[in-house]
Every structure is written in structure tokens, then in C-alpha cells.
């Protein structure tokens, strides 16, 4: 809830102004892994500073717990089954309308710097200025490219260790500096800038200074009860065993956690670098700033890492919205990331837009509003990523419906999961077979199917 002080300090209705938009985005940041979300170990001073100056959403959910479809939904306001980028290999169709088109047509300079995961980078999707990993690689010498490749190794590895790279050879460092250059170059014009970082995504190899901030032996692992993953959708257990996560010892898991937290803190420094530049240029007085991530990270919970599940660790995301002279505090109502497109067009004084997401302008302003009764997400099984034999690829997707009390993970062709998230926040007890839950399952399944058809 917003504090009484913040409500009194904020206007009932934000004065209509043509704000700039700075969208700060990370990859695979678990909602809980930030100081402002209550974590006592993870250091995120810059994200915490943003949270102190804006609204922090405690119940924000991604439209898909995997990069490409989630990012496609963020810039279109539609779910993956509508915009068409359903799995990691899918490029968003060329003609798809995005938030960049909307802002650009209204006189904004648009830019996307960093990891947008467009798959086909010849498609800019409305962003007039685009810098991506290929541009970073082109800025390096052959020897530097080899050094980066040898240091980072397998992109999906979860082994926690210090990187041997100097700071300037991290691509996120390069992206942050280019984002600062964009702000300086376009300070006199309305702009819509996406500054998007790879970290804390795997590999868990932060710069040695950030890895050194976390002593693995002192970190607390998430609960790992005996029999975890054995009473729900069997694919999660198959995947955990194939990847070696189910067999991971505690010492190794803590070291992975240290690497992940180091990645989070390093990413936070880049958020701070761009935000500091915004403030130094005086642009913070006329810029809406958003921080979020495309999805979460399991970080050892349920003996799993990365994403591709509907557990809270993977599908819940951090979300902070800072509006100049706007309200501060915490909002606990459920929101979805597809809501950002229509909310931001209204916040920036550009009117409403018709997409699947719904504007949360009234919620941001602290006015009376109709809160979401549930959050929805969907996951299509990705080739060579979910299981080695692709046994689930091509089947209907996993659909999640999450209310204040229950979460249904629905598969039309396999064992489903129902969690009483109010009494079982760790999602350990699958109640799908309980006779007394039949009505709940039926209602949530109806919602899932309606959302998927919509």
C-alpha cells in the first residue's frame, strides 16, 4: 500500500505532461533478489534508490517465463499466442506494432540499446536507434572477442565463479555507456529509450569485484524438501535431472547463488550509471523511469535454475515505476507486464492504446480502480532447452492463472498443478487431486482457456 504521507504528497491526478520514457531492463532478475524487495543479502543500491522515488509493485507477473516471448509482449502489449513470438527461436513478425512505433509517430526519438532478443536484428520494430550484441562485438579486437568467448563459456551454465574480464569487456558496460551517450545526444528532444542489460542472466560469472561481495558459505539456500518436483508436471523433474540440478550439492548450489547475486549487483551498477546520467542532465524532472526484468530466475528453488516454469521465482518480476512529482510507496495489487504499454502511453500524455494489457494509470495515481483478479502467463516448450529429446515441443502450452489465493498451472495433456499460494507460498504441495479443490480447478481452468483463446 502507498503510505499516508506519499498519498498526501502526491496529486490525486497527475498533471498531463509530455514525459520522456526511460525503460531500464534486466534479464532473469528474480523479484526477491533486491534490497527493496526485502532481501537481506543482495546489494542493489541503485534499484533501491529508484524504488524510494517511485512505486514498487510487489505482485507483477511476466506474460511468459522465457526471454523472447516475454520481451515481445512487453513492447506490443499482447500475449505470445497473439504476437507470434512463442519460443526462443521465433522472431517477432516484421509488421507487428510496438510501443516504439507509437512513441515515434508522436515525435519521440526512439532507441533500443542492449539485449532486446529480437532474434532477427534486421527487424528494428520501430526503434530508430538500435545497438545490440553484434555492435558490441564489432567494437572489439579479434583478441578481445576471443577473450570474452573463452571467459564466458556456455551461456546457460550455472557454475558460480569470478570472471577474469576487465570491466570494459562486459557487454553491459558497453551498453550502459552507449545509453548515456544517447541521453546526452537527445536531451533536447522527447525520447523513448530502452536500455536493456544481459545480466543477471547466466553465465553466473560476474566481474571479480562483484563476485567477492558474496561469501558462498554464508548464503542461505532456498528450501529443498525431499521429493520436491515429484508430484506435479513430470517435465520439471526430468529437466532438473538432465541439467544436474537435482543432484547439485549444497556447497555447489551456494557458489552458484554467489555468482547469481554478483551478477545482480553488477547489473544494478549499470542501472545506476544510466540513471545518474539522466539526473545529471536534469532529465529526471521530465522522464518516466521504469525498471523491470523479462522474467525471474529459479536461483536454486525447487532444485532448479534459470526459468521455463511457472513457479513464483520464475514468473514473478520486479517492477518499479517513477513518475516526476508522482506518488511513492508500494502497491500490492496484481499487475501484468502487458499492462505497461497502455499505462506508459497515458503517463507520458499520449493517450490510450488498444492492446491486450490494461492501463494501470489509476493505480499509479492512487485513484479508485478495478484491480486485476488474476494474473495470466503462458509457456511454449522451447527446443533443445527444456529437455534434450524435445519430448514436449509442439504440444499445447503451459498456462498459469494466479489469484490472491490459488495458482493453477494448466496443461490440457498432462498432470496439472494447483497451489494454495496463501498457505503454501513455497508451492510445495500440489492439491490438484483433492476433491474439495475441484471447483477451484474448474474455475481457474475456464479462465486459462478463455485467456488463451482471447
pLDDT tens readout for residues 354-384:
999 999 999 998 888 899 999 999 999 999 8
Mean pLDDT of 22-44: 98
Question: Does 334 share its domain with 412?
Answer: no
Q: Which of 337, 372, 407 is the endpoint of a domain?
A: 372
Task: With a cut of 50, say whether residue 275 has pLDDT above it.
Answer: yes
Average pLDDT, the chain: 95
Mean pLDDT of 161-173: 97
pLDDT tens readout for residues 71-87:
999 999 999 999 999 99
- pLDDT computed for residue 7 by the predictor: 37
Q: How far is CA 51 from CA 1, 55, 271, 331, 443, in A?
A: 14, 6, 12, 11, 36
Question: Does 68 share its domain with 184?
Answer: yes
C-alpha cell recorded at residue 320 = 518499479
Distance, CA of 123 to CA of 90 (rounded, Å): 12
**CB 26 within 8 Å of CB 296:** no
403 in a structural domain = yes
Quick count: other Cβ atoms within 10 Å of Cβ 41?
15
Mean pLDDT of 165-186: 98
Split at pLDDT 50, 70, 90, the class of 14 is: low
- pLDDT computed for residue 8 by the predictor: 36
For the CA atoms of the chain, what is the radius of gyration? 21
pTM: 0.95
Question: Does 368 share its domain with 413?
Answer: no
Question: Does 318 share its domain with 445?
Answer: no
- pLDDT computed for residue 76 by the predictor: 98
Strands 191-200 and 109-114: parallel
The CA-based angle 215-221-222, given to 5 degrees, is 150
- pLDDT computed for residue 4 by the predictor: 36
Mean pLDDT of 307-315: 98
Task: With a cut of 60, say whether residue 24 has pLDDT above it.
Answer: yes
C-alpha cell recorded at residue 288 = 518516466
Task: With a cut of 90, say whether residue 156 has pLDDT above it.
Answer: no
220 in a structural domain = yes
Mean pLDDT of 96-122: 97
151 in a structural domain = yes
- pLDDT computed for residue 31 by the predictor: 98
Question: Does 353 share its domain with 408?
Answer: no
Question: Does 410 share its domain with 273?
Answer: no
Q: How far is CA 7 from CA 12, 48, 291, 360, in A?
A: 8, 20, 22, 17
Give me the CATH number covering residue 313: 3.40.720.10
Split at pLDDT 50, 70, 90, the class of 13 is: low
Q: Which of 339, 372, 405 is the endpoint of a domain?
A: 372
384 in a structural domain = no
Quick count: other Cβ atoms within 10 Å of Cβ 89?
12
Distance, CA of 9 to CA of 179 (rounded, Å): 32
**Which of 15, 35, 11 lies closest to 265 in space, CA to CA?**
35
Domain count, the chain: 2
Whole-number percent of the chain with pLDDT over 90: 92
Mean pLDDT of 2-14: 43
- For the chain, the distance separating the N- and C-terminal CA atoms, rounded to the nearest angstrom, is 31
418 in a structural domain = yes
Cis peptide before 203 (omega within 30 of 0): yes
Q: Which H helix or E strand runs over 398?
A: strand 398-402
Question: Does 274 share its domain with 400?
Answer: no
Return the C-alpha torsion angle 305, 306, 307, 312, nearest 10.
60
Question: Does 151 share its domain with 60?
Answer: yes
269 in a structural domain = yes
- pLDDT computed for residue 1 by the predictor: 43
Task: With a cut of 50, say whether residue 6 has pLDDT above it.
Answer: no
- Out of 15-19, 36-40, 183-187, 280-284, which region has the weakest mean confidence (pLDDT)? 15-19
Backbone angles phi, psi at 422, to 5 degrees: -75, -40
Mean pLDDT of 435-454: 97
Mean pLDDT of 157-175: 96
Question: Does 348 share its domain with 427?
Answer: no
Which domain does 440 fall in, by range? 396-454
Task: With a cut of 50, say whether residue 2 has pLDDT above it.
Answer: no
152 in a structural domain = yes
331 in a structural domain = yes
Distance, CA of 325 to CA of 285 (rounded, Å): 8
- pLDDT computed for residue 15 by the predictor: 53
Quick count: other Cβ atoms within 10 Å of Cβ 39?
16
Distance, CA of 61 to CA of 386 (rounded, Å): 21
Question: Does 75 share its domain with 177?
Answer: yes
Q: How far is CA 400 from CA 20, 100, 315, in A?
A: 34, 28, 9
**CB 103 within 8 Å of CB 350:** yes
Place of cell 540513471: 275
Task: With a cut of 70, say whether residue 107 has pLDDT above it.
Answer: yes
pLDDT tens readout for residues 60-73:
999 999 999 999 99
- pLDDT computed for residue 16 by the predictor: 60
The length of the chain is 454
Question: Does 147 share its domain with 262?
Answer: yes
pLDDT tens readout for residues 211-249:
999 999 999 999 988 889 999 999 999 999 999 999 999
Mean pLDDT of 24-48: 98
Distance, CA of 239 to CA of 247 (rounded, Å): 12
Question: Does 409 share its domain with 365?
Answer: no
- pLDDT computed for residue 152 by the predictor: 86
Task: With a cut of 60, say whether residue 122 has pLDDT above it.
Answer: yes
- pLDDT computed for residue 366 by the predictor: 85
Distance, CA of 312 to CA of 362 (rounded, Å): 26
Amino acid at each position: 500500500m502507498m503510505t499516508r504521507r506519499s498519498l498526501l504528497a502526491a496529486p490525486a491526478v497527475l498533471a498531463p505532461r509530455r514525459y520522456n520514457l526511460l525503460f531500464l531492463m534486466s534479464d532473469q532478475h528474480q523479484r526477491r533478489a533486491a534490497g527493496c524487495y526485502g532481501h537481506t543479502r543482495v546489494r542493489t543500491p541503485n534499484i533501491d534508490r529508484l524504488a524510494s522515488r517511485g512505486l514498487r509493485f510487489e505482485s507483477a507477473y511476466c506474460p511468459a517465463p522465457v526471454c523472447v516471448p516475454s520481451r515481445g509482449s512487453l513492447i506490443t502489449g499482447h500475449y505470445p499466442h497473439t504476437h507470434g513470438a512463442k519460443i526462443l527461436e521465433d522472431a517477432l513478425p516484421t509488421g507487428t506494432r510496438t510501443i516504439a512505433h507509437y512513441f515515434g509517430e508522436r515525435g519521440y526519438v526512439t532507441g533500443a540499446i542492449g539485449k532486446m532478443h529480437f532474434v532477427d536484428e534486421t527487424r528494428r520494430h520501430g526503434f530508430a536507434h538500435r545497438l545490440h550484441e553484434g555492435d558490441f562485438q564489432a567494437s572489439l579486437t579479434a583478441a578481445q572477442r576471443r577473450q570474452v568467448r573463452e571467459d564466458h563459456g556456455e551461456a546457460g551454465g550455472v557454475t558460480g565463479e569470478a570472471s577474469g574480464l576487465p570491466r570494459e569487456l562486459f557487454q553491459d558496460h558497453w551498453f550502459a555507456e552507449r545509453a548515456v551517450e544517447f541521453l546526452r545526444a537527445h536531451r533536447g528532444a522527447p525520447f523513448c529509450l530502452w536500455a536493456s542489460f544481459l545480466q543477471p542472466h547466466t553465465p553466473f560469472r560476474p566481474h571479480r569485484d562483484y563476485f567477492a561481495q558474496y561469501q558462498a558459505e554464508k548464503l542461505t539456500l532456498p528450501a529443498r524438501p525431499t521429493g520436491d518436483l515429484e508430484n506435479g508436471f513430470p517435465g520439471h523433474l526430468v529437466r532438473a535431472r538432465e541439467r544436474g540440478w537435482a543432484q547439485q550439492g549444497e556447497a555447489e548450489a551456494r557458489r552458484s547463488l554467489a555468482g547469481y547475486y554478483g551478477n545482480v549487483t553488477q547489473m544494478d551498477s549499470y542501472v545506476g550509471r544510466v540513471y545518474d546520467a539522466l539526473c545529471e542532465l536534469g532529465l529526471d524532472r521530465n522522464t518516466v523511469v521504469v525498471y523491470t526484468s523479462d522474467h525471474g530466475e529459479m536461483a536454486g528453488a525447487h532444485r532448479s535454475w534459470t526459468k521455463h516454469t511457472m513457479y513464483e521465482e520464475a514468473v514473478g518480476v520486479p517492477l518499479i515505476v517513477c513518475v516526476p512529482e508522482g506518488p511513492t510507496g508500494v502497491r500490492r495489487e496484481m499487475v501484468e507486464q502487458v499492462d505497461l504499454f497502455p499505462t506508459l502511453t497515458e503517463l507520458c500524455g499520449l493517450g490510450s492504446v488498444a492492446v491486450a494489457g490494461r492501463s494501470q494509470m489509476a493505480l499509479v495515481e492512487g485513484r479508485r480502480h478495478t484491480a486485476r483478479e488474476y494474473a495470466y502467463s503462458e509457456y511454449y516448450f522451447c527446443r533443445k532447452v527444456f529437455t534434450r529429446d524435445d519430448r514436449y515441443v509442439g504440444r499445447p502450452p503451459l498456462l498459469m492463472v494466479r489469484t490472491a489465493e490459488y495458482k493453477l498451472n494448466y496443461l490440457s495433456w498432462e498432470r496439472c498443478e494447483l497451489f494454495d499460494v496463501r498457505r503454501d507460498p513455497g508451492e510445495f504441495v500440489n492439491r490438484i487431486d483433492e476433491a474439495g479443490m475441484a471447483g477451484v480447478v474448474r474455475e481457474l481452468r475456464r479462465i486459462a482457456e478463455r485467456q488463451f483463446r482471447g
